Amino acid sequence: MGIGYFILLGAIALVSFIVSSRLQSKFNHYSKVHLRNGMSGAEIAQQMLNDNGIYDVKVISTPGRLTDHYNPVDKTVNLSEAVYNQRNAAAAAVAAHEVGHAVQHATAYSMLRFRSKMVPVVSISSRLSGMLIIGGLVLGAASNIGFGYYIAILGLAMMAIATLFSFITLPVEYDASNRALKWLKQNNMLTSQEYSGAEDSLKWAARTYVVAALGALANLLYFAFLVFGRRD
């Protein structure tokens, strides 16, 4: 499995690079499709919040590129500087998507709630899993006792939690995009050309999460092979 794993990992890395590059290209392209309504990303976000009856969430600007996110702790829709200020199809798509997460939060969307509850555990498990697996395998090989094996199993369980988190992220992201596109269409916020650009942008953004989840799964399977293969 060793060679096969590295071939698989290389393939996933290649696909990830292609998808990321394609996403950047799409956003650059649709950033040139200016909105006829003249609304900025911040204004789009605020309008979508108002239309959903959400008045306790603030729309703020955050430094960086593609750093957009919704923070359920302080109830803020954080838009990167370009998205916050620009008035194009890409900015509209990102802004509406992030508000989609705010709508999920306001309506107690089950998958978002489950994902949020996992965050504290995942933040710990993602840091420790690799060290526990490698440390357990080294200890087991050096001492020839089962204690190291159980440490490695613990690390593997932590890695499995992080992998599950990656897959739970998928429906959360796709649902936020669907909410965004539905609102943009129902409220005639965009022309047909602008809407197509927003839809295409979100489609490629979602694919980055799919690739990340597959990469996490491949990593988990490889380490599972290392741990359980040592017992043969």
The yes-or-no answer on residue 199 being catalytic is: no
The CA-atom distances, in angstroms, between 231 and each of 147, 151, 160 are 13, 14, 19
Here the tokens at position 145 are 């006792």
- Helices in 31-57 by DSSP H: which ranges? 41-51
Looking at residue 50, its amino acid is N
- Helices in 31-87 by DSSP H: which ranges? 41-51, 81-85
Q: Shortest CA distance to 38 belongs to which of 78, 81, 92?
A: 92
Determine the Cα–Cα distance for residues 102 and 75; give it in Å rounded to an integer: 8
Determine the Cα–Cα distance for residues 95 and 68; give it in Å rounded to an integer: 8
Q: Which of 98, 173, 194, 199 is catalytic?
A: 98
The string of DSSP codes covering 180-202 is: HHHHHHHTT-S-HHHHHHHHHHH
Please enumerate in sequence order all residues whose Cβ is within 8 A of that of 34, keeping only pairs 6 or more positions apart, or say none: 87, 88
Residue 152 near residue 133 (C-beta atoms within 8 A):
yes
The angle formed by the CA atoms of residues 217, 219 and 127, to the nearest 5 degrees, is 105
Q: Shortest CA distance to 161 belongs to which of 130, 133, 128, 121?
A: 121
Catalytic residue positions, numbered: 98
